[in-house]
Amino acid sequence: MKIFVILSFVLVAMILAPAMAQQIQCAPPDCNVVANRNLLFPHNNPSAFFQCVPRGDVWMAVERPCQCMTFFYTNLQRCEDAANWSPQCVRHSPDAVPRPCE
């Protein structure tokens, strides 16, 4: 019985963890860090994200737009339907509206 209760708490914690995650300051990544070159990073505008790209001999953070009607989701490393998104950056508003399709 104890193990069932413990496993139940673990399962609930895993489900609620994304909703309880703390918001971060979203800024361009340091692309001199090699590990950052393989990741996408959240932007203060939830309809965009940062990606490290090579420019000659240096790596630079470049702003990339999400598809229309989507927001960037760091944990998934992709833009996601706005209905599935939750604020990740300190400046993100829970009432943010995605970029409309033209």
pLDDT score recorded for residue 3: 53
**CA separation for the pair 62, 55 (Å, rounded):** 10
What is the pTM for the complete model shown? 0.73
Backbone angles phi, psi at 88, to 5 degrees: -115, -30
Say yes or no to pLDDT of 96 above 90. Answer: no
**Strands, E, within 1-102: which ranges?**
40-42, 48-55, 58-65, 70-73, 78-81
- Whether the CA torsion 89, 90, 96, 99 is positive or negative: it is negative
Query: pLDDT tens digits for 18-65?
Result: 444 567 779 999 999 999 999 999 999 999 999 999 999 999 999 999
pLDDT score recorded for residue 47: 95
Please check whether residue 71 is in contact with residue 84, taking contact to mean a CB–CB distance below 8 angstroms: no
Please check whether residue 23 is in contact with residue 62, taking contact to mean a CB–CB distance below 8 angstroms: no
